[in-house]
Every structure is written in structure tokens, then in C-alpha cells.
Amino acid sequence: MSLLAIATRCAVVAALCAGGVSAAGCGSTPSTSGTSGATAPDGAVKTGPAAVRAAGRYTLEVLDSESYSPRTELMDRINERFERAHPNITVKRVTKAFQDYMSSVKLTLSGDNPACVAMGDQGRDVDGQLVRAGLLRPLDDYARAYDWPVDRTAQWSDGGDVWGEGETYSVSPFYNVIALYYNKAILRRLGLAPPTTFDEFVRSLEKAKRAGMTPIALGNADRTAAAMQYEAIQGQFVPKEQLTDFVFRSGDDPTFDHPGNLDAATLLRDWTKRGYFTEGYSGLTPQDAVTRFIKGRGLYHLTGPWYAGMIADGLGEDAGLMLLPPRNPGASSVATGGLGGPWHITSGCDEPDVAAAYLDFLIGPEVARMVADAGELPSRPEPAPAGASPILRQLFAARDELQADDGIVPFIEVAYPGFADSFYGALQELMEGRVEPAAFVERIEQGYTDHFEAAG
Amino acid sequence: MPDLLVEARDAHGGARPRARTTRRGGDRRTHTNSAYLFLAPVFLVFGLFLLLPLAHAAYLSLFDWDGLNAGTWVGLENYRELLTSPAIRSAFLHSFVLILFYGVLPIAIALFLVSLISRSRHVRGLGPYRTLLFLPQVIPSVVVAIAWRWILAQDGPLNELLDAVGLGGLTRPWLGDFETALPSIGLIGTWAYYGLAMVLFISGVQKIPQSLYDAAHMDGAGPVREFFAVTLPGLRRELVVAATLTVAAAVATFDLVFVATAGGPGNATTVPALEVYRRAFTNGEVGAAAAVATVIAVVVFALMLAIRRVGRTPEEREAGR
């Protein structure tokens, strides 16, 4: 083989390796002059149908990551409704699968003609970087004018360095709650009622295991599901303020090094050792797990609302849903979740009034009803639709309870870029007993302080 | 692609003896000048779409850059971080383990099977057979990964088989177990690449003159002797091609790991390319990602040169090339 052929091969391979990077790199080079954060114009913003009419014939470009059925069809219907309400507007929607979307959104929005409305993702690794790069328009003016609800996960200040306070940058029509789904038939067979305290819940796990059943259906091949289990337990042991302080890096002592985390880590390890999770969970995907749960191979399943429809259809009458019961009887429940994927207006948007009207429409009552009718959970406290399954009703009730008692805590893995990976990896090691709970807590804390020290 | 390589090699190889004499003869320049003219378009495309991005990535690796905001020149800082990072060290370690599974093992299996085929030179239905062997190469590796994830799951066919033959004690979630995840990924690679090696070797073995086998036969060589004296030397070029392709695939592997294990459990199956992806797209460290990518390129290049050196023909060795 000639040297040229070898060199070609090498270069092809190397270019493939570098592919992701050169995609980022081709034509775009780190500039030495920084981009400054976008600031809202001083003039008062225009709202409502008149503001949209004033734009004349206009094509509103929208980028979203809602590519999965039935969410994608729902988004199409929502856009049609918006166009019908505003005949001068055409919505041009571009959607990509979540993972592809998130890996490209920063580049897409930093291009010359970014879309007017774009989704991001909660947390410092996506939204934080978009704000830092000045790609998003702060929305406080519109939020005040339209009276949008305020949520810490949507707030950024200091050019994206501070999260959880400051200007609002996004809204979301959807809501997430990590809830405890259960199989009523199995509970009955075990002679149990749905647990009302955390201790009762733990006892029911042991009882199910003794009876030869899988207490909790889990599939962690994608590494995210174990984090949901951990966060659910963590919510029972670490005070809510401590948790939010860790995520937003607020308060006097934002830290992972809290005794509650040691308790949660110890318990998760203990449950794994006792075989409370599906055997071979580490090689199963979340879909595998929910399929098993539907087939009666699992008493409980801890997951988000995205599987509610599947579980309602699969288990029918036997499907039950509750929030993980609190440790102290009578205390209010705590669950992971909150607003769904954030919707932003880009700083390059030439018709922010139209974009803001679109966002307001997304979180308005009409879309909330469409969301609920589609079997999904709207962020707006809209009641469950008339024909909703019991599961969906319970899901709506859980959302109302959490919103009323301020019981929702954000997913912790978005605390800083790269944390998710190390957190997921550390959890797998913890569950398999390759790292002790104390060392687990220490490692997470170390990564956390290292990151923010390096960031200054 | 392999065909192209073989052709390129043949053209070059055929000209070799003449090139050696002309070097002493002195009319070499006229030859090369016209050759450059013909090569120019290739070099242009090659440089524009391969060398330039490559150089650009290497340049980016000298910045602390999140891909969006202003980058800061940090010189070799990204490389210093990379050398001390245990995550990177284990990722490269894993890719070297994968070389065994993607390269050494498939080549060994294919050599063994081909040596059997070479004994009976007239294989009937070679076309369909070749197609079947090549199939894993044609299936997208994402599909391969999903299929194998299913096969290797706790209640997948492999464990069912083990249960059925009384080896239930061995069952485990193969891709989710810290001890078996990396070898499992590796064996998927073996499955995918032995067909490639087979196809290369089959075509190679057919080019070995029958007279050599006859001569070996006359000299009383047994099957083992025949393999080492005739088949193996005859397959030298194919071996180099197979090793080049599979070793490069092992070091640069991404999609299979990304879909099958996402680097888990823990960090048991992280590979360098996965680190590139994580750094560039989730962590927003484009400079550091480019540094890893550059190191991958250098490692691959070094391995290619090593393979090329080992795979020299005696004449080439003599000529000091």
C-alpha cells in the first residue's frame, strides 16, 4: 500500500474523530473580541393581537426538540392554531431529536440568521451557555406585560453566570413530575394499601421482594434512570432549600456534602444490594423497564409524565400514581421536576413582539387544554380533561399539590456542564458497590467545587 | 474503499522495480512531474476537505473555547490537562483493548477460516457467501448496537441460551456489568470486522498462484506449513489493509459505544471519541475536545506507520522504505 493511501486513511479517520469538532470549527474560529449580552430595548414592548398584526406578513421561525410522537403532532396542531388566530403569520417549524438538537443548538443559534423562537434546555450546560453568549433575549419586559409566571429555572443574571435569579429568559407549556407509578393488582396480591409514608414504601419493597417480585422496575442502560431514583430518595433526606441551593449555587453553603446525601446514597446502594431493582437493570433501557412494568414485572416504577400514557394504556384499571410519600406523616411531598423544556426568544429576532405573542400563546389556556387533551401535563394549572384516564388525573393532582406546597425540586444533574456525565457514572459505581456512599458524596462534592473554582 | 486501496497499491507496486532502477538512472524527474499534475486535483480535494479541517482542529485545541464566546489562547494547556486526566487515560486504555477485539481477533479468525478455504480452492457460491460476510459492514453500527444490546440483555437470547445449557450462573447484563461491558463491546466489533477481513483475505488468497500450493505439496508441506509458507506471505498486503482499517476503527470508535453503553457502566467503556463528543457538545469545551481529537489523530497515524513498517515486503525492507 502506498504511503499516500495510508495517509488518506489516517486523515479520513482522524477527520471523522475530529468531525464533531471540525463541524464546530469550520469557518468559526474563537474570536478574541467577546460578544456582549443582549439587552432588552428601552422602549415599551407591544403585546397582544395588535402587536402581531403590526408585523404584517411575517414568517416566524421556530426551533424545537419536540420531535417525538405524539408531542410533535401536538406542536403542529398548536402552530396551526396560532396561524389561524393570526392570519398574517406563518410558523416555520424545524424540529430535531432531543440529543441532536442539544448538541447543535448553540451553533445553530450563533449563526447569522437564527430562528426567532428556539428551545434550549434547563441548566448551565445549555441555557447558561446560550445566555452567556448573548444569544437569548431577556424577557422581563414581556413577562411583566403578559404577566407570565416566574420560575427560578428560567432566570439568569450576570451574563449567564448566576442561575436562579435575575431576568426571565424562557417559558414552558409543559410540566414534569417524577412520580411513583404502581401496579394496583400486585399491591392487592401483597395485601397492601398504597404507602402513605416513606417507611411504609420501603417496607412494601421488602415485602414484594420476599414474594418473589421485582419491587421497582428500572432500566439504566442510558444512565439517566438511576439518577431519577437517586433524586427521588434524595428529596426525602436533603432539605429542599439545600437541594435548590446546590443546583442554583445560591444561599450560604451550596454543597453536596450534606448528611442527607450520604443517607440517600447508602439507601440506594442498599436497595440495589437487596435486589429491589429489576435484575440486570444496568443493561436495560428505560423503555425496557416501562414495558416490564406494564407487563406486571414490577410493583413500582419511578419516572416522568412522558410514560403516563403508555402506563395508562398498558395497565388500565391497575395503574396507580402517587408522589413518593414523605418520611414524616403529614409532611408535604417533594418531587423532582418542574417546568419542561424552556422556550426562548433569540436576541437576533427581528420581530420579538410576534415571538412573545407566540410564547404567551404557548403557555395560555388554549394550548394548556390541547396539551391536556393530548394526555400530557401542561405547566398551567389547567384541570384534567373530562375523558382523562385516572392516571392522568392523578398526575394533574400531583402537579397541583407540588405547585401549591412549593414541593418541586429541579433535576440536579444540570448544575454545571459535564456534571451529568460524572454523576451518572458515579451512580453506576455506587449501585454496583464499586464506590462507598461516603466516597460517592465526596467525589460529587469535589467535582462541584472544582468546577466552580475553575470558573471563578 | 478496500478495492481502491488495492488498486492504488497495485499501480504503485507494479511500478516499483522500475522506480528503483530509474532512481539510479536519473530520468526520474520527468516521471514525477507529470504524476504531480495528475495528482493535483486529488491533493486539492484532500487538502481542502481533510488536511485543512484537521489543521483547524489542531489550532482550536490551543484555545480555551466553549464554541460560542470569545476564546482564550492557552497554548498547550489543554494537552497538559489531557495528559493528567484519568478519564482520558482510561479512554485510550479502553481503545487499546478494543484493538485486540476489532483487529487482532477478527484477523486471526479470518486467517484461520481462509486457510481452510485455501485448501479447497474452488469454493462454490462464493458471491453470496462474500455478501453475507460483508453484511455487518453494511448494517449501520447504530442498528448493530441496538441489536446486540437486546441480545446481551439480562433476559436476552444469550442469557436464555446459557440458562438452557445449565450455565445459568454465568448470566448477567453483559453490557451493564463492569467486568464484561468492554469485552462485550469488543466482541460486537469482532463480529462486525471479521467479515471484512474474510472478504479481503478470500480475494487475496485467490491471487496466490496455484503453482505455489502445488510446490508446497510436492515438498511434503502439511496444512500448517503450507499456511505459514504460502498463504500467510501471500496475504501480506491484505493483512496490512485489514489491520489498518480495523485498528483505525478501534481507536476511533464512537457510535457503537455511544448507543450500546454511553460509556457506562461507570466509565468502564469510555473511548476517546466519546470524550471528544462530551467535551464539545455537552461540556462546552471545544478547545479541550479538539485536543483529544488531535491526540486520536496522532495515535492513529503512529499506529498506521507501525503497521506499515511491520507489513513491509522483504524487497521494501531491503530498500529501506
Q: Give the DSSP H/E element, type plus range, for residue A32.
A: none
B173 interface with A at CB cutoff 8 Å: yes
Cell of A13: 479517520
Whole-number pLDDT of residue B31: 63
Helical axes B181-207 vs B86-99, angle rounded to 10°: 40
Yes or no, beta carbons of B265 and A426 under 8 Å apart: no
pLDDT of residue A442 exceeding 50:
yes
Read off the pLDDT of each residue in A261-290 and give the average, rounded to a whole number: 95
Distance separating alpha carbons of residues B103 and B248, to the nearest angstrom:
9
Q: What would the pLDDT profile of B281-309 be if each residue is shown by its tens digit?
A: 888 889 999 999 999 999 999 999 999 99
Of chain B, the percentage scoring pLDDT greater than 70 comes to 88
DSSP state letters, A330-380: TPPP-EEEEE-S-EEEBTT-S-HHHHHHHHHHHTSHHHHHHHHHTT--BSS
Whole-number pLDDT of residue B114: 87
Read off the pLDDT of each residue in A203-207 and give the average, rounded to a whole number: 97
A334, A343, A337, A404: which is closest to A126 by C-alpha? Answer: A343
Helices (H), A86-125: 98-109
Distance separating alpha carbons of residues B158 and A420, to the nearest angstrom:
32
Whole-number pLDDT of residue A9: 37
Q: What would the pLDDT profile of A49-80 be if each residue is shown by its tens digit?
A: 999 999 999 999 999 999 888 899 999 999 99
Whole-number pLDDT of residue B127: 76
A325, A295, A322, A324: which is closest to A310 by C-alpha? Answer: A295
pLDDT of residue B240 exceeding 80:
yes
Q: B90: buried, middle or exposed (CB in 10 Å: 19+, 13-18, 0-12)?
A: middle
Q: B129: buried, middle or exposed (CB in 10 Å: 19+, 13-18, 0-12)?
A: middle
Stretch 243-262 of chain B: residues touching chain A, C-beta under 8 Å? 244-245, 248-249, 251-252, 254, 261-262
Closest partner residue to B60 (CB to CB) among A25, A223, A429 is A25
pLDDT of residue A343 exceeding 60:
yes
Read off the pLDDT of each residue in A22-30 and give the average, rounded to a whole number: 39
Largest CA distance in chain A: 77
Whole-number pLDDT of residue B304: 94
User: Whole-number mean pLDDT of chain A?
Assistant: 88
- Look at A400-409, B2-11, B55-64 and tell me which has the smallest mean pLDDT: B2-11
Distance separating alpha carbons of residues B144 and B190, to the nearest angstrom:
12
pLDDT of residue B19 exceeding 60:
no
Whole-number pLDDT of residue B321: 57
Read off the pLDDT of each residue in A373-382 and give the average, rounded to a whole number: 91
Closest partner residue to A424 (CB to CB) among B65, B264, B285 is B264
Whole-number pLDDT of residue A319: 96
Yes or no, beta carbons of A11 and B54 under 8 Å apart: yes
Helices and strands (H, E) in chain B, number of each type? 18, 2
Q: What would the pLDDT profile of A147-182 be if each residue is shown by its tens digit?
A: 999 999 999 998 889 999 999 999 999 999 999 999
Q: What would the pLDDT profile of B264-279 be if each residue is shown by its tens digit?
A: 888 899 999 999 998 8
Confidence of residue B121 (pLDDT cuts 50, 70, 90): low
Closest Cα in chain A to B148: A283
Read off the pLDDT of each residue in A212-220 and give the average, rounded to a whole number: 96
Distance separating alpha carbons of residues A168 and A160, to the nearest angstrom:
11
DSSP state letters, A230-295: HHHHHHHHS-HHHHHHHHHT-SS---S--HHHHHHHHHHHHHHHTT-BPTTGGGS-HHHHHHHHHT
Question: Which residues of chain B does A221 touch, with a Cβ-Cβ cutoff of 8 Å?
Answer: 149, 175-176, 261-262, 264
Read off the pLDDT of each residue in B108-135 and give the average, rounded to a whole number: 79
pLDDT of residue B213 exceeding 80:
yes
User: Whole-number mean pLDDT of chain B?
Assistant: 84
Sheet of A167-168, strands arranged across: A162-163, A155-157, A167-168
More confident residue, A76 or B209: A76
Distance separating alpha carbons of residues B131 and B138, to the nearest angstrom:
10
Pairing of strands A162-163, A155-157: antiparallel
- Look at A14-18, A419-423, B75-79, B99-103 and tell me which has the smallest mean pLDDT: A14-18
Cα B314–B320–B321 angle (5° rounding)? 85
Q: What is the pTM of this model?
A: 0.81
CB A229 within 8 A of CB A240: no
B286 interface with A at CB cutoff 8 Å: yes
Stretch 23-42 of chain A: residues touching chain B, C-beta under 8 Å? 24-26, 28-35
Q: Is residue A338 left, alpha or beta, with left meaning phi > 0 and alpha meaning psi from -120 to 50? A: left
Q: What would the pLDDT profile of A388-399 be if each residue is shown by its tens digit?
A: 889 999 999 999
Whole-number pLDDT of residue A330: 84
- DSSP one-letter code for A150: P
Cell of A364: 395560555
Closest Cα in chain B to A105: B281
Read off the pLDDT of each residue in A326-336 and give the average, rounded to a whole number: 91
CB A172 within 8 A of CB A340: yes
A419 interface with B at CB cutoff 8 Å: no
Distance separating alpha carbons of residues A261 and A250, to the nearest angstrom:
18
Q: CB neighbours of A58 closer than 8 A, spacing ≥ 6? A: A88, A89, A90, A351, A354
CB A215 within 8 A of CB A209: yes
Q: How far is CA B177 from CA A161, A389, A421, B87, in A?
A: 38, 38, 18, 19
B68 interface with A at CB cutoff 8 Å: yes
Of chain B, the percentage scoring pLDDT greater than 90 comes to 42
d(CA B137, nearest CA chain A) in Å: 16
Sheet of A89-95, strands arranged across: A89-95, A58-64, A117-119, A343-345
More confident residue, B65 or B13: B65
Residue located via cell numbers 462486525: B192
Whole-number pLDDT of residue B17: 43
Confidence of residue A106 (pLDDT cuts 50, 70, 90): confident
pLDDT of residue A281 exceeding 80:
yes
B183 interface with A at CB cutoff 8 Å: no
Whole-number pLDDT of residue A454: 84
Distance separating alpha carbons of residues B6 and B200, to the nearest angstrom:
10
Q: CB neighbours of B246 closer than 8 A, spacing ≥ 6? A: B99, B102, B103, B106, B107, B193, B196, B197
Read off the pLDDT of each residue in A122-148 and give the average, rounded to a whole number: 94
Question: Which residues of chain B does A283 touch, with a Cβ-Cβ cutoff of 8 Å?
Answer: 149, 152-154, 173-177
A50 interface with B at CB cutoff 8 Å: no
Residue located via cell numbers 400563546: A361
Distance separating alpha carbons of residues A429 and B90, to the nearest angstrom:
15
Closest Cα in chain A to B265: A428
Whole-number pLDDT of residue A27: 36
B149 interface with A at CB cutoff 8 Å: yes
Closest partner residue to A106 (CB to CB) among B68, B175, B297 is B68
Closest partner residue to A129 (CB to CB) among B68, B252, B300 is B68
B300 interface with A at CB cutoff 8 Å: yes
Distance separating alpha carbons of residues B188 and B181, to the nearest angstrom:
11
Distance separating alpha carbons of residues A10 and B301, to the nearest angstrom:
6
Question: Which residues of chain B does A224 touch, with a Cβ-Cβ cutoff of 8 Å?
Answer: none
pLDDT of residue A31 exceeding 90:
no
Strand positions, DSSP E, A96-140: 117-119
More confident residue, A25 or B121: B121
Distance separating alpha carbons of residues A242 and A249, to the nearest angstrom:
10
Whole-number pLDDT of residue A418: 87
Q: Which residues of A319-339 are buried (b: 16+ CB within 10 A; e: fewer)?
A: bbbbbbbbeeeeeebbbbbbb
- DSSP one-letter code for A441: H
B59, B247, B91: which is closest to A21 by C-alpha? Answer: B59
Yes or no, beta carbons of A10 and B252 under 8 Å apart: no
CB B68 within 8 A of CB A34: no
pLDDT of residue A229 exceeding 60:
yes
d(CA B128, nearest CA chain A) in Å: 28
Q: How far is CA A374 from CA A309, B97, B275, in A?
A: 9, 49, 39
B94 interface with A at CB cutoff 8 Å: no
Whole-number pLDDT of residue A16: 36
pLDDT of residue B212 exceeding 80:
yes
CB A399 within 8 A of CB A385: no
Q: How many CB pairs under 8 A join A and B?
A: 229
Distance separating alpha carbons of residues A312 and A17, to the nearest angstrom:
44
d(CA B12, nearest CA chain A) in Å: 7
DSSP state letters, B233-265: HHTHHHHHHHHHHHHHHHHH--HHHHHHTTT-S
Largest CA distance in chain B: 74
Residue located via cell numbers 465526596: A442
pLDDT of residue B152 exceeding 60:
yes
pLDDT of residue A446 exceeding 70:
yes
Residue located via cell numbers 482510561: B90
Q: CB neighbours of A340 closer than 8 A, spacing ≥ 6? A: A172, A173, A174, A175, A176, A379
Which own/partner contact pairs does A227-231 have at CB distance under 8 Å and 24+ positions apart?
A: A227/A411, A227/A412, A227/A413, A227/A420, A227/A423, A227/A424, A227/A427, A228/A178, A228/A302, A228/A303, A228/A304, A228/A336, A229/A268, A229/A277, A229/A302, A230/A264, A230/A265, A230/A268, A230/A427, A231/A178, A231/A336, A231/A409, A231/A411, A231/A412
Question: Which residues of chain A does B71 touch, with a Cβ-Cβ cutoff of 8 Å?
Answer: 29-32
